[in-house]
Amino acid sequence: SIFILNVLEYWRISFGQIHPLGLARVLHFEVLCRALGYDPSLLLFRRFFRLAKNGDWYTFETTQIDTCLISSTVTTLGSWKD
C-alpha cells in the first residue's frame, strides 16, 4: 500500500531490512485506521511507534502515549452481542 511505502521511505529502509513483526505492526496500524474510518497517516503512525534496531533488523516499537489519546479500550469480549 502507499502508506507502507511512505513509512519505509520516511525512515529510508527497505522491506529486506525490516523484521516481519515490525512490518506486521505497520499493517495492523493501517487496518485499524481504515476500520475506524480514518486514513492512516505517517504523522499519526509516528505518534504511536518509533523505529528501533534489533540485531540486524529494524523494527517498530511503541512510544509512551498519553492515555487521553485513546478514547476507549476493549476490556472484555463478554458483551460483544450488545
**pLDDT score of 73 more than 90:** no
In terms of C-beta density within 10 A (0-12 exposed, 13-18 middle, 19 or more buried), how is residue 82 classed?
exposed
**pLDDT score of 4 more than 70:** yes
- How far, in Å, are 33, 56, 61, 80 from residue 45 at the CA level? 10, 23, 11, 28
Residues in the chain: 82
What pLDDT is stored for residue 62 in this prediction?
87
What pLDDT is stored for residue 41 in this prediction?
92
**pLDDT score of 79 more than 90:** no
